[in-house]
Amino acid sequence: MTHAQIFPAPAKVRALTKNTLVRDLANQANNVALDHIKVLEATGLVTSTR
């Protein structure tokens, strides 16, 4: 599974719950996934196929 595939998952969890702890965890997961994407892109080794 790629970061692009997992990236929408926290947003979906966040959208579907009213539990503030779960929403906070989903926000943290989203930030981690985005950080990983940025780190990978910064290496210059990642190429987009689209």
Residue with tokens 């940025």: 38
**Residue 34 pLDDT:** 87
Cα–Cα distance, 36 to 3 (Å, whole number): 8
Is pTM beyond 0.85? Reply is no
Confidence class of residue 18 from pLDDT cuts 50, 70 and 90? Answer: very high
Cα atoms in the 13 Å half-sphere on the side-chain side of 45: 3
Q: Is 10 exposed, middle or buried (0-12, 13-18, 19+ CB in 10 A)?
A: buried
